[in-house]
């Protein structure tokens, strides 16, 4: 009986002492406390940059019927805009790619995947709009970055694109969209605000003009 008690109380060779084991658990808990919020904030920043409004997300999941023959991707984009009421922008040339297909009671998200991905294009949700872009340019958005569409009322995108690039952060991108006279900027929210400021239209006060 005494021998059994000695064997039960004994600690196998190589086992970690109880004090060291508790210290290791404490270090793991501290590491999780420090790292987890950082990982969560990074993933949240990415989601903010790619996730659109709840209304647009609902439209992407809503089914519809659409059929076009020998139509360019530009024609498909226009038909989707008319059917689902979604703004679509693209800096790529969509007129050179033709699609002959028909969809019945199919979610818009699936339609976009079918007509775009096989032809080397993808789509990105930007606020209340959809952005069509080549897959090699879509990439993975950096943590802390978001996408913004900046409209230009009096300027052509090609005229200001090079100047805007001088204001961006490292790793940011700027893309001209001549069809909608706008710029697509992927950068930090603070930097996007700095870019938008000089491009905002100057308020016009008719009364000031009359009294001048």
* 141/108 Cα distance (integer angstroms): 23
Which DSSP category does 120 fall into?
T
Percent above pLDDT 70 for the chain: 66
Structure tokens at 99: 């699609």
pLDDT greater than 60 at residue 15: no
pLDDT in tens, 140-153: 566 678 888 888 88
Whether the Cβ atoms of residue 184 and residue 141 lie closer than 8 Å to each other? no
pLDDT greater than 50 at residue 34: no
Alpha carbons within 13 angstroms on the beta-carbon side of residue 198 total 8
Query: SS3 for 168?
Result: coil
Q: Where are the beta strands (DSSP E) in the chain?
A: 63-72, 87-90, 98-107, 121-126, 129-134, 146-151, 173-177, 182-187
95 Cβ neighbours under 8 A, 6+ residues apart: 72, 73, 74
pLDDT in tens, 161-186: 999 999 988 878 888 888 788 888 88
* 45/188 Cα distance (integer angstroms): 10
What is residue 207's predicted lDDT score, i.e. its pLDDT? Answer: 53
Domains defined along the chain, listed by start: 22-50+140-203 (3.30.1370.120), 52-138 (3.55.50.30)
- Quote the mean pLDDT of the chain: 74
What is residue 190's predicted lDDT score, i.e. its pLDDT? Answer: 87
More confident residue, 200 or 76: 76
Whether the Cβ atoms of residue 153 and residue 119 lie closer than 8 Å to each other? no
* pLDDT band for position 17 (cuts 50, 70, 90): low
What is residue 80's predicted lDDT score, i.e. its pLDDT? Answer: 94
Tokens 């709840």 sit at which residue?
Answer: 54
* pLDDT band for position 27 (cuts 50, 70, 90): low
Whether the Cβ atoms of residue 152 and residue 199 lie closer than 8 Å to each other? yes
pLDDT in tens, 49-67: 344 578 888 999 999 999 9
* pLDDT band for position 40 (cuts 50, 70, 90): very low
CB contact burial 145-163 (16+ within 10 A = b; e otherwise)? bbbbbbebeeeebeebeee
* 108/80 Cα distance (integer angstroms): 8
More confident residue, 38 or 115: 115
pLDDT greater than 90 at residue 103: yes
């Amino acid at each position: 009986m005494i021998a059994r008690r000695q064997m039960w109380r004994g600690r196998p060779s190589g086992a970690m002492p109880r004090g060291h084991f508790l210290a290791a658990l404490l270090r793991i808990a501290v590491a999780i406390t420090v790292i987890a919020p950082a990982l969560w904030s990074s993933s949240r920043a990415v989601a903010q940059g790619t996730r659109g409004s709840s209304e647009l997300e609902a439209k992407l999941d809503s089914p519809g019927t659409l059929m076009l023959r020998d139509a360019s991707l530009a024609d498909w984009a226009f038909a989707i805009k008319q059917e689902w009421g979604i703004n679509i922008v693209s800096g790529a040339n969509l007129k050179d790619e033709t699609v002959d297909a028909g969809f019945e009671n199919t979610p818009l998200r699936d339609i976009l995947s079918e007509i775009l991905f096989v032809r080397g294009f993808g789509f990105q949700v930007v606020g209340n709009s959809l952005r069509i872009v080549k897959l090699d340019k879509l990439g993975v958005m950096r943590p802390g970055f978001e996408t913004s569409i900046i409209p230009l009322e009096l300027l052509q995108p090609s005229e200001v694109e090079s100047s805007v690039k001088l204001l961006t952060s490292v790793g940011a991108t700027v893309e001209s969209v001549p069809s909608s006279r706008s710029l697509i900027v992927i950068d930090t929210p603070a930097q996007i605000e700095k870019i938008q400021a000089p491009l905002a239209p100057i308020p016009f006060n008719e009364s000031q003009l009359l009294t001048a």
